[in-house]
A and B are shown apart, each in its own frame.
Chain A
């Protein structure tokens, strides 16, 4: 049965259908949530605090028993996928005990435990996997450091390396960019794109809206249920986001702002830590980086000239 996982290079499938979760204290965290993803893809899981993002994560890791619906990975139950080392989780920095007496190497090696024997003695293949993972996130030189002695970005990369060493194909990242410098963010995104190319499904839970269109192919908009899912550009409409976040988002309308025609097409946007999300005039998404999106601009230009005619 588990062989289905080994033969699934490139067509990993995650399906969440009609998922409902009610906690023991009666709190209804999710109801009727449905979406599906096929690898390789990077999917942003977006919603305000308390919208059920972490509950959805826990469901995908089999930690909560759904009161309705089901999560399947490659058509099988989550439990089987866990046994086959398919699911890897990269925790938030706050969840980790940074004073724990383990080195970078130790933590990444833990990613291999599921594949090891009863005594969890590392074999050569385990050591090689750990070394390769550490080199991929450029932490090989830091392998003997205690984890608390790392910078914010390095801390994040340790747990990414653990997911790599595990060989997980459904990779769940919880708020990967909080407390991380710009270079690390870029490095993480490059790595996630490589994983996507190799057929992985990467689900990124974040409240940082602006980062999602930059690197997520798909998005799931969450608020107690799935409000919208699909390609980021179709999910990330002002309408959908307002429905998900209500009045929580800060709006910035250019026509109401002090921006005048002499500012031309160049507008500088500064924020303290969050990447801002920018919408164009007719409600389409604006991207920071137009490289690779030339066709989009051509299409918009064509539409504009048609409208003028």
Chain B
């Protein structure tokens, strides 16, 4: 009885309920998108973007703009810079990303420390969903709804773009637009997720649910739902649990995601480590395996 009472304590606080619901929403959106990010091989790009939006958020806070607008601006700038350097130099993509996103992140940190009255450094880097302002909350909800609607309408196009961009082009699909669309959706969700888990951990929201879902299913449609469910569930429970962990929302959500991934990695029915091992053993003694099946 007492334990149940203790567990329900967080829900007595409005700010906790709000944080849990918003985190869940962000988790669902990020999870949805993570299906595309992981299959396109853009995980590192997600990491780069999440750091590149920091100066934008800092500037926006300073100028009184919506944070999303600033974040979006520097996110796009960073993507452009990466594309330019890659085309105009002989450097590899990972080196280009490494240079660009640390540069933007450093610029962001500089802006924050040079302007004491602006955005709080901790809020940007570690997130602060428990104290989210109404205006930021509205931004998060708008981003989430728009992203879900766009993905709901165009997921097949984006799936084909991730699977076989060449084919998408020969079918006359606007590949450049799809490429841009996916980048824009990523930037937008990064901004939303920033509020929940902070810049450092955003990439986990955009990668881990999709990676786990990929091990659980062989159909893209199902993978999207599984990823959205995992992302949403982990964010919901993580944010709730953070009440008992001194408000470290980002840490709770991402740790939970990692635990889920670990379980899936080991025990996924078909593509888990143990299942693969079992299958490999079955192959080496195929006669016996057949007997068992009969």
User: A residues near B, CB below 8 A?
Assistant: 24, 61-63, 82-85, 87-89, 91, 95-97, 99-103, 106-107, 110-111, 113-114, 118-120, 146, 162, 166, 168
Contact = CB atoms under 8 A, between A and B. Distances in A.
Contacts of B153: 118-119
Given A83-B172, A119-B153, A162-B167, A110 B218 contact: no
Contacts of A87: 170
B107 interface: no
A102 B156 contact: no
A102 B172 contact: no
B171 A166 contact: yes
Interface SS of chain B: helix
A102 B171 contact: no
Contacts of A107: 163
B173 A102 contact: no
Contact of A102 (B87, B157, B163, B166): B163
15 contacts: A61-B170, A89-B170, A100-B39, A101-B214, A101-B217, A101-B219, A102-B159, A103-B219, A110-B160, A111-B171, A113-B160, A113-B171, A114-B171, A114-B172, A119-B153
A99 B217 CA distance: 11
Contacts of B39: 97, 100-101
Contacts of B164: 91, 96, 110
B283 interface: no
Interface in B93-151: none
Contacts of B218: 101-103, 146
Nearest to A102: B220
B48 interface: no
A85 B171 contact: yes
Interface in B160-194: 160, 162-164, 166-173
Nearest to A95: B166
Nearest to A79: B172
A70 B173 CA distance: 22
A118 B152 CA distance: 11
Interface in B211-229: 214, 217-220, 222-223
B219 A102 contact: yes
Given A101-B214, A146-B218, 10 more contacts: A63-B166, A82-B169, A82-B170, A84-B172, A101-B217, A102-B219, A103-B219, A110-B160, A111-B171, A166-B171
B166 A91 contact: yes
Given A103-B219, A113-B173, A120 B156 contact: yes
B173 A106 contact: no
Nearest to B162: A100
Given A101-B217, A113-B171, A24 B87 contact: yes
A63 B160 CA distance: 17
Given A100-B163, A101-B223, A103-B218, A63 B169 contact: yes
B37 to A, nearest CB: 14
A61 B169 contact: yes
- Which of A61, A83, A95, A101 has the most chain B CB within a 10 Å cutoff? A101
A106 B167 contact: no
Contacts of A83: 172
A114 B163 contact: no
The 4 closest A-B pairs by CB, nearest first: A114-B171, A146-B218, A120-B156, A82-B172
Contacts of B171: 82, 85, 110-111, 113-114, 166
A111 B170 CA distance: 10
Contacts of A110: 160, 163-164, 167, 171
Contacts of B162: 100
Contacts of B169: 61-63, 82
A13 B217 CA distance: 44
Nearest to B214: A101
B166 A106 contact: no
A110 B223 CA distance: 18
Nearest to A112: B171
B173 A101 contact: no
Nearest to B153: A119
Contacts of B170: 61, 82, 87-89, 168
Nearest to A91: B166
